[in-house]
Amino acid sequence: MPVITLPDGAERAYDHPVSGADIAADISKSLAKKAIAMKVDGELMDLDHVVEKDAQVALVTRDDEEGLELIRHDAAHLLAQAVQALYPDTQVTIGPVIEDGFFYDFARDEPFSTEDFEKIEQKMKELVDADLPTRKEVWPRAEAIARFEALGEHYKAEIIRDLPEDEEIKVYHHGDWYDLCRGPHLPSTKHIGKAFKLMKLAGAYWRGDHRNAVLQRIYGTAWANEKQLKQYLHRLEEAEKRDHRKLGKEMDLFHLQDEAQGSVFWHPNGYTMWVELEAYIRRRLNDDGYVEVKTPQLIDAKLWEKSGHWGKYSQNMFVVPDDVPDTVSDGATFDPDAKLMALKPMNCPAHVQIFNQGIKSYRDLPMRMAEFGCCHRNEPHGALHGIMRVRQFTQDDAHIFCRWDQIAEETKKFCALASSVYEDLGFEDVRIALATRPEMRIGTDEEWDRMERVLGDALTDAGLDYEVLEGEGAFYAPKLEYHLRDAIGRSWQCGTLQLDPLLPERLDATFIDEDGSKQRPVMLHRAILGSMERFIGMLIENHAGRMPLWLSPTQAVVTTITSDADAYAQEVAEALTKVGLRAKADTRNEKINYKVREHSNAKVPAILVCGGREAEERTVSIRRLGSKENRTISLDQAIDELVKEATPPDLR
RNA sequence: GCUGCUGUAGCUCAGAGGUAGAGCACUCCCUUGGUAAGGGAGAGGUCGAGAGUUCAAUUCUCUCCAGCAGCACCA
């Protein structure tokens, strides 16, 4: 005889087993209508699940966060059902809930087209209107496999075969159609509602493995109501407006072209941002005890062989024969025996070379060696993305050579610096991950325990939350990853800290310890911005192009109302330039409206308008980007204000 | 690299089997206007590259290249 405890603490005793629907009906009519599932002792269940023992029960409605997930999950099933109704030759596979929606992967010989979406959505809506009830069955394993195989659903059969032996094989029926699923599901298709939309079509490998068949993935979004759906679509539109590729063009920051695919042409505006950012991070590194170096771009393949990169990554390196090519014919031919050089894909082996010059003492450690290192990696073509993922990039790279007992301290120091930099640069949504031992690895479990613990503890000591990415570490050591989000919600790795005992070993780095013995240092590979290119992309998107004054390519434009004030405007612009501000005078024969609009669109943070009055009084009318107001203040005051704001955050 | 889509003026895009159009930007002229587009004129394109079908291709077909979305990859 179950006693049901509700979330508010109220208890209801029943003299018979009760379903969620019964409990809801018991509480109120409206709840009976709204409830779509329930939680029993914290576990999500179908609403018709029967509770036989005492339990904590919470009813889930479509307005709950969990309710929304269930809607999306059901929408995925609905999509599969609609697709199979329209295209019977299609096999279903998996269809999980993802952020803001869901997808479903289908196997079908003929490709889908986004033009099919309308038809599929129509069918989905018909199925919602049909209000097909949900019914769960548990099938014996062998029977389930046989039945799905008989239907030609080989992927489903494979999924069942791979389920753990003790797992119940649950099959959910929505009317005549059914699908293997762990559930729970809404009571009927009506509850899904119609606030969904199919979004995009893409190929995806079965089980995420590129050696497997490519399935056709349909992405959709689903919400509790139309209003939420509209808001979401609007959010996407807004996000598009802050896309760094679009803003890069509009603000004349950089461009990309076919002849240098994956490498950035930085225009004066964009490079100004680069220079400011680089200067900033250089100061931060200096203050934290780093020394800066510069190492070669082209390095003999022999060194890459020694470091181990050649064996693992030569496919992704740009290799150049050290030979004068024969260009008599159209192409260029090289001596097949020519020595091979490679454009460096990373800086670490070169840094070890510097470390290895002379004899190092324990007194030299920790040695923090930084380089704005320009690296080349031959990335897969499909991976390239604006300036976020490129083939030539510059890292704010550094390697810390230290003793094992210094790792914790150095990691803590790094975490503090990274947090401070992200804060200075205006990033709030920073996720930290600890990537732990992968399946293929070297070293003993004890060593991995120790390394993972050192990094985890350093984060905890620094008061930082982090998630664990199981098995995502490098094959020789775990690493920390700092992920920032772009405008469309995509996550990019920027900062990283990686423990590396292997490379010093391979390249024979040593130091003389206190007791006079020769020891191996350990290396910490670390970056905060990651790649300058990617980070500037993130900055652009994070600020929607409205950069803080210190990073703005043009900080102020001085513009005139009539040509009478031209001379004064020139004088103002010169005064601003003289104190180090990036200012321009705009004395074109255009109306003030036109000029204000143009400079606002170009995202110039400050427009200083000068007319006859200002010239006479030696004032400026200052208008800040994003504000419709303007203030008339003295030139001195304006300069003062702008200079203060243009000071980089670390120098304030 | 894989799947699907796209490629027309500097930018955003329209168009059609008979060798191209708009708006903005650009150049020149008029306009001296107080805070988000004043008016007029002009210039600008081998329609991504190559091959094929056709009397005729930028339009149809194929191959390649690049971009976009996702997947895989990311030392």
> Does the pLDDT of residue A604 top 80, yes or no?
yes
> Does the pLDDT of residue A518 top 90, yes or no?
yes
Residue in the block written with tokens 């609905």: A78
Reduced to 3 states, what is the DSSP secondary structure of residue A39? strand
pLDDT mean over A223-250 = 92
Tokens found for residue A212 = 């497997």
Tokens found for residue A538 = 């993130």
Whether residue A376 is annotated as binding a ligand: the answer is no
Distance CA A60, CA A68 (A): 10
pLDDT mean over A455-467 = 92
CA to C1' distance (Å), from A613 to B43: 40
Dump strand ranges (E) for A24-176.
Answer: 35-40, 43-45, 50-51, 55-61, 91-92, 97-98, 101-107, 134-139, 169-174
| Region for A175 from its dihedrals, namely left if φ exceeds 0, alpha if ψ lies in -120 to 50, beta otherwise | left
Q: pLDDT for A365-389, tens place per residue?
A: 999 999 999 999 999 999 999 999 9
> Does the pLDDT of residue A331 top 70, yes or no?
no
A349 CA to centre of own chain: 28
CATH 3.30.930.10 segments of chain A:
268-294+345-542
Pairing verdict, β A556-560 and A606-610: parallel
Does A498 contact strand B, using a CB cutoff of 7 Å? yes
Handedness of CA A220, A222, A227, A231 (dihedral sign): negative
CA to C1' distance (Å), from A200 to B3: 12
Does A497 contact strand B, using a CB cutoff of 7 Å? no
Per-residue CB contacts under 7 A with strand B, chain A residues 184-223: 200-205, 208-210, 214, 216-217, 219
CA to C1' distance (Å), from A505 to B75: 17
Does A314 contact strand B, using a CB cutoff of 7 Å? no
ipTM: 0.94
Q: pLDDT for A5-57, tens place per residue?
A: 888 888 888 889 989 998 998 898 888 888 999 999 989 999 989 888 888 88
Is A348 annotated in the active site?
yes
Distance CA A402, CA A564 (A): 66
Per-residue CB contacts under 7 A with strand B, chain A residues 254-283: 256, 258, 261-262
CATH superfamily of A549-651: Anticodon-binding domain (3.40.50.800)
Tokens found for residue A529 = 């911005």
> Residue A307 in contact with residue A327, Cβ under 8 Å?
no
Catalytic residue, chosen from A344, A351, A399, A595, is A399
Q: pLDDT for A393-404, tens place per residue?
A: 999 999 999 999
> Does the pLDDT of residue A447 top 80, yes or no?
yes
Does A477 contact strand B, using a CB cutoff of 7 Å? no
> Residue A451 in contact with residue A478, Cβ under 8 Å?
yes
**How does residue A330 score in pLDDT terms, banded at 50, 70 and 90?**
low
- The pLDDT value recorded for residue A2 is 85
Closest C1' nucleotide to A488's CA = B69
Handedness of CA A232, A233, A234, A238 (dihedral sign): positive
CA to C1' distance (Å), from A608 to B13: 35
**How does residue A475 score in pLDDT terms, banded at 50, 70 and 90?**
confident
**How does residue A326 score in pLDDT terms, banded at 50, 70 and 90?**
confident
> Does the pLDDT of residue A221 top 70, yes or no?
yes
Reduced to 3 states, what is the DSSP secondary structure of residue A633? strand
Does A474 contact strand B, using a CB cutoff of 7 Å? yes
Does A491 contact strand B, using a CB cutoff of 7 Å? no
CATH 3.40.50.800 segments of chain A:
549-651
> Does the pLDDT of residue A329 top 70, yes or no?
no
pLDDT mean over A308-334 = 85
Whether residue A525 is annotated as binding a ligand: the answer is yes
Query: How many distinct helices (H) and strands (E) make up chain A?
Result: 20, 35
Chain B: nucleotides under 7 Å from a protein CB? 1-5, 11-12, 30-38, 65-75
CATH 3.30.980.10 segments of chain A:
67-238
Is A297 annotated in the active site?
no
- The pLDDT value recorded for residue A398 is 98
CA to C1' distance (Å), from A570 to B29: 26
Q: pLDDT for A520-537, tens place per residue?
A: 999 999 999 999 999 999
Catalytic residue, chosen from A191, A479, A595, A599, is A479
Is A154 annotated in the active site?
no
> Residue A437 in contact with residue A471, Cβ under 8 Å?
yes
Under 8 Å CB-to-CB from A88, ≥6 apart: which residues? none
CA to C1' distance (Å), from A128 to B3: 30
Query: How many CB atoms lie under 10 A from the CB of residue A226?
Result: 11
pTM, 2 dp: 0.93
Average model confidence (pLDDT) across chain A? 93
Is A49 annotated in the active site?
no
Whether residue A348 is annotated as binding a ligand: the answer is yes
* CATH number of this structure's domain A3-61, picked from the four choices 3.40.50.720, 3.30.428.10, 3.40.190.10, 3.10.20.30: 3.10.20.30
Q: pLDDT for A153-207, tens place per residue?
A: 999 999 999 999 889 999 999 999 999 998 899 999 999 999 999 999 999 999 9
Catalytic residue, chosen from A348, A402, A494, A610, is A348
**How does residue A225 score in pLDDT terms, banded at 50, 70 and 90?**
very high
**How does residue A436 score in pLDDT terms, banded at 50, 70 and 90?**
very high
CATH class of A268-294+345-542: alpha beta
CA to C1' distance (Å), from A62 to B19: 60
Portion of chain A with pLDDT greater than 90, in percent: 81
Distance CA A415, CA A461 (A): 10
A366 upstream amide cis, omega within 30 of 0: yes
CATH 3.10.20.30 segments of chain A:
3-61
- The pLDDT value recorded for residue A325 is 82
Distance CA A387, CA A392 (A): 10
- The pLDDT value recorded for residue A334 is 84
Catalytic residue, chosen from A156, A368, A377, A534, is A377
* CATH number of this structure's domain A67-238, picked from the four choices 3.40.50.2300, 3.90.220.20, 3.30.499.10, 3.30.980.10: 3.30.980.10
